[in-house]
Amino acid sequence: EAQVTQNPRYLITVTGKKLTVTCSQNMNHEYMSWYRQDPGLGLRQIYYSMNVEVTDKGDVPEGYKVSRKEKRNFPLILESPSPNQTSLYFCASSGTTNNYGYTFGSGTRLTVV
Amino acid sequence: GEDVEQSLFLSVREGDSSVINCTYTDSSSTYLYWYKQEPGAGLQLLTYIFSNMDMKQDQRLTVLLNKKDKHLSLRIADTQTGDSAIYFCAESGGSYIPTFGRGTSLIVHP
């Protein structure tokens, strides 16, 4: 089944403890993105990648890192999480043919205390 | 930068039609999308329209695009309680990276 898989689904962590949220897609998509969703603010793009080793900042990149060493994986790294990074995170991927519409993962709800 | 605007809430009675509106600013938009997010789930691509089209129909869904006014709408005929969700408008221009609106919460009541 074509899908984007994020892990974990839920995570509670403490301020300053490094964490990684994994994202993997099995559709051989070139484009991958990370978004955070907050009430009243909709979806805001954190980082995106147009292919292996090509990443760029989105609208809210501060406090986050990404890497794209392989086409299928696009992990999101929080080196020193803070409470304002408590949010719902989505990974998404898209190919370069057809309509470029994104396929989204199921989301990761992160709470930083 | 590009901007996508949509109203935050829409309430309709079951069986009526729903119309969710969206405006965008990027004149180079190539594809325009509607996504649906059900509670506790990720976004699901509902439908899309290419910028050289005026209308697209898919069962109960009708998408209208007014490129001159940069206005996109999604009409859901015979709205059901299962249609209650957040609907996101999005557009992608030359970069093919979509810009999303804030989402419209559709509430369907009996």
For A50-86, how does the pLDDT look when each residue is reduced to its tens digit (9 = 90+)? 999 999 999 999 999 999 999 999 999 999 999 999 9
* Residues of A with Cβ-Cβ distance to B96 under 8 angstroms: 31, 94, 96, 100
Residue B81 has pLDDT above 60, yes or no: yes
* CB-based contact A101 B33, cutoff 8 Å: yes
Which of A46, A55, A42, A110 minimizes the C-alpha distance to B35?
Answer: A42
Q: What token pair was written down for B13?
A: 């009675």
Residue B95 has pLDDT above 80, yes or no: no
> How deeply is A48 buried, as exposed, middle or buried, from its count of CB atoms within 10 A (0-12, 13-18, 19+)?
buried
For range A11-25, the mean pLDDT? 97
Stretch (H or E) spanning B67 = none
> Which of B8, B45, B103 lies at the smallest CB-CB distance from A101?
B45
Chain B closest-CA separation from residue A63 CA (Å): 21
Q: What token pair was written down for A97?
A: 């043919």
Distance of alpha carbon B81 from alpha carbon B78, whole angstroms: 10
Look over chain B and give the mean of its residue pLDDT values, rounded to a whole number: 92
Reported confidence tier of residue B38, pLDDT bands at 50, 70, 90:
very high
Residue A42 has pLDDT above 90, yes or no: no
* CB-based contact A45 B92, cutoff 8 Å: no
Q: What are phi and psi of A76, to 5 degrees?
A: -110, 125
Which of A83, A102, A9, A5 minimizes the C-alpha distance to B40?
Answer: A9
* Residues of B with Cβ-Cβ distance to A92 under 8 angstroms: 43
> Which of A43, A99, A105 lies at the smallest CB-CB distance from B100?
A43
* Residues of B with Cβ-Cβ distance to A94 under 8 angstroms: 96
Residues 6 or more apart whose CB falls under 8 angstroms from that of A1 comprise none
B48 in A contact zone (CB under 8 Å): yes
> Which of A35, A102, A106 lies at the smallest CB-CB distance from B41?
A106
Residue B1 has pLDDT above 60, yes or no: no
* Residues of A with Cβ-Cβ distance to B92 under 8 angstroms: 100
